[in-house]
């Protein structure tokens, strides 16, 4: 008997009970789809991290209050940023940041709950973020708490449309500001919508928008840009020394954190990897469960068709003919499951992305991987029932009701 004929017989056997065949493949479908979605999700997470590296640059040092230490955020203040700018060598710039959420008005429009980011004049340079038009505010304006604002590109569009916003008045909260510039479009990077924010001197945030009465010059984050990667370690050591002295703490147990972009990435990568491993287990387990389902139904099928097997044996089917017939049934089940699973996985990954639930990026290699895994499951879990069928004694098989 040729392979194609055996294949045709196996296919015939499966179409005999379509609902059962479909339910049997469901386990494999879920397993394969989750392999593909899992890889797409973790590839999406990795892409987000990669974007963060590109958006912030590898020579950036992030200084902030140490998380998990009570009161640490109270002691991390604007003076710390000024001290770093003054005494740390080999740095290009320092940008302190604190933000507030306010309603704004300008032109003929009003916008609710907009992020107002208080920064220092080094901000564009430190964050590699250029202006589209106008200028950024100056050191003097920051020192004098001048009410000037630089708009994110999207905010400028929303308030003024095609009009030139330069020199226009806007109201943030209840304070009037003069627009001096518009930032270039940057979009959403690593969950931050740069275009949807307004940038003003940090001193004005302290004066007008900080809600806490005490320690109103608290800073959320200070970004320090080093001259090059080579001086990073030295810059980190200097920052640590300056802050430890100012805060009067042991440098080995600080109430502040000094991190590079690389540190943050490593932490996130570890999280992503743990997540991916977990998903890999889930996918693997569901494939195995799917395989057991196939084995179960194949054993039922062999029992149900014992007489047919006996008849085929009497008519001259060799043990291998019978074994191949049932093995192919199992493989067809798993491959059809694999195919539907691949389509479901691709569709699922696409839908997750489109709905914004999760960022996903389809990994092309995951398709043959998942398909191969499905085929392996079919062969592995089909082998035992097929062997059972091939080893049936023709006399017993023919006699069975």
Partner 1 sequence: MNDYLITVKNLIKTYGSAEVLLYALAGVDLNIRQGEFVAIMGPSGSGKSTLMNILGCLDRATEGTYILDDEDVSELSKVELADVRNRKIGFVFQSFNLLPRLPAYKNVMLPMMYYRAEDRPEAEEREMRAIKALESVGLGDRLEHHPNQLSGGQQQRVAIARALVNRPPLLLADEPTGNLDSRSSEEIMALIHNLHAQGVTIMMVTHEPDIAAHAERVICLRDGNIVSDGRDGASECERQRGAL
Could you list the residues that contact partner 1 (CB under 8 A)?
Answer: 1-2, 5, 12, 16, 307-308, 311-321, 393-395, 398
Q: Which is nearer to partner 1, 297 or 349 (by Cβ)?
A: 297
Pick the closest to residue 133 from 109, 152, 107, 111 (CA basis): 152
Overall size of the chain counted in residues: 401
Q: Find all residues with CB under 8 Å of 21, minimum gap 6, and list them.
A: 14, 15, 297, 333
- Rounded Cα distance, 130 and 136, in Å: 9
Give least dist CB 312 to partner 1, A.
7
Pair type for strands 175-183 and 148-151 = parallel
Instruction: Output 3 or 211, the one with its CB closest to partner 1.
Output: 3
The answer to whether 343 touches 375, Cβ cutoff 8 Å, is no
Determine the Cα angle at 102 with ends 82 and 221, to 5°: 30
Nearer to partner 1, 12 or 273 (CB): 12
Nearer to partner 1, 5 or 128 (CB): 5
In the complex, what is the shortest distance from the CB of residue 31 to partner 1, in angstroms, rounded to a whole number? Answer: 30
Report the Cα–Cα distance between both ends of the chain, in Å, rounded. Answer: 27
Q: How far is the CB of 278 from partner 1 (least distance, A)?
A: 45
- To the nearest whole angstrom, how small is the minimum distance from the Cβ of residue 318 to partner 1? 4
Q: Shortest gap between Cβ of 300 and partner 1 (angstroms)?
A: 17
Cβ 398 to partner 1 shortest distance, Å = 7
Which own/partner contact pairs does 210-215 have at CB distance under 8 Å and 24+ positions apart? 210/98, 210/100, 211/100, 214/74, 215/74, 215/77
Comparing CB distances to partner 1, the nearer of 308 and 361 is 308
- Token pair, residue 96, equals 């302190």
Please, which residue, 319 or 347, has the CB nearer to partner 1?
319
- Shortest Cβ 305–partner 1 spacing (Å): 9
Burial class (CB in 10 A: 0-12, 13-18, 19+), 365: exposed
Nearest of 225, 127, 101 to residue 184 by alpha carbon = 127
In the complex with partner 1, which residue's Cβ is closer, 257 or 323? 323
CA distance 177 to 151: 11
CB of 310 to partner 1, least distance (A): 8
**Nearer residue to partner 1 within complex by CB, 107 or 394:** 394
Cβ closest to partner 1, residue 5 vs residue 193: 5
CB of 360 to partner 1, least distance (A): 44
- Which helix (H) or strand (E) segment is 150 a member of? strand 148-151
**Shortest gap between Cβ of 13 and partner 1 (angstroms)?**
9
Closest distance of CB 330 from partner 1, Å: 19
DSSP codes of every residue in 234-287: HHHHHHHHHHHHHHT--TTS-SEEEEEHHHHHHHHHHHHHHHHHHHHHHHHHHH
Q: Which is nearer to partner 1, 233 or 396 (CB)?
A: 396
E strand or H helix that includes residue 6: helix 3-15
Nearer of residues 2 and 174 to partner 1, judged by Cβ: 2
Two structure tokens written together for 315: 């008519």
Q: Encode burial over 335-344: b for 16+ CB neighbours within 10 A, e otherwise.
A: bbbbbbbbeb
Which single residue is written with the structure tokens 């590839």?
43
């Amino acid at each position: 008997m040729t392979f194609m004929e055996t294949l045709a017989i196996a296919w015939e056997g499966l179409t005999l009970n379509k609902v059962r065949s479909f339910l049997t493949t469901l386990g494999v479908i879920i397993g394969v789809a989750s392999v593909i979605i899992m890889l797409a999700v973790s590839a999406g997470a990795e892409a987000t991290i990669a974007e963060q590296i590109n958006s912030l640059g590898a020579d950036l040092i992030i200084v902030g209050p140490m998380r998990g230490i009570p009161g640490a955020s109270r002691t991390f203040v604007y003076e710390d940023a000024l001290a770093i700018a003054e005494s740390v060598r080999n740095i290009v710039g320092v940008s302190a940041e604190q933000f507030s959420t306010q309603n704004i008005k300008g032109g003929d429009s009003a916008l609710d709950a907009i992020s107002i980011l208080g920064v220092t004049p080094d901000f564009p340079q430190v964050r590699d973020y250029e202006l589209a038009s106008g200028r950024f505010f100056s050191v003097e304006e920051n020192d004098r708490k001048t009410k000037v604002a630089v708009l994110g590109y999207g905010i400028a569009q929303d308030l003024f449309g095609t009009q030139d916003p330069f020199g226009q008045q806007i109201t943030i909260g209840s304070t009037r500001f003069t627009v001096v510039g518009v930032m270039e479009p940057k979009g959403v990077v690593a969950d931050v919508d740069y275009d949807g924010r307004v940038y003003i001197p940090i001193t004005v945030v302290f004066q007008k928008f900080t809600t806490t009465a005490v320690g109103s010059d608290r800073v959320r984050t200070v970004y320090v840009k080093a001259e090059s990667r080579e001086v990073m370690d030295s810059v980190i050591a200097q920052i640590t020394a300056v802050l430890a002295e100012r805060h009067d703490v042991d440098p080995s147990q600080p109430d502040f954190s000094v991190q590079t972009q690389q540190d943050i990435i490593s932490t996130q990568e570890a999280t992503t990897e743990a997540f991916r491993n977990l998903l890999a287990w889930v996918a693997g387990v569901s494939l195995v469960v799917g395989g057991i389902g196939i084995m179960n139904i194949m054993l039922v099928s062999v029992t149900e068709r014992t007489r047919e097997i006996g008849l085929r044996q009497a008519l001259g089917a060799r043990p291998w003919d019978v074994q191949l017939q049932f093995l192919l049934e199992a493989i067809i089940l798993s491959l059809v499951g694999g195919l539907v699973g691949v389509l479901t996985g691709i569709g699922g990954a696409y839908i997750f992305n489109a709905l914004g639930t999760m960022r996903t990026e389809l990994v092309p290699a995951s398709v043959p991987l998942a398909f191969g895994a499905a085929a392996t499951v079919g062969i592995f879990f089909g082998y035992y029932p097929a062997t059972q069928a091939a080893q049936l004694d023709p006399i017993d098989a023919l006699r069975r009701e």
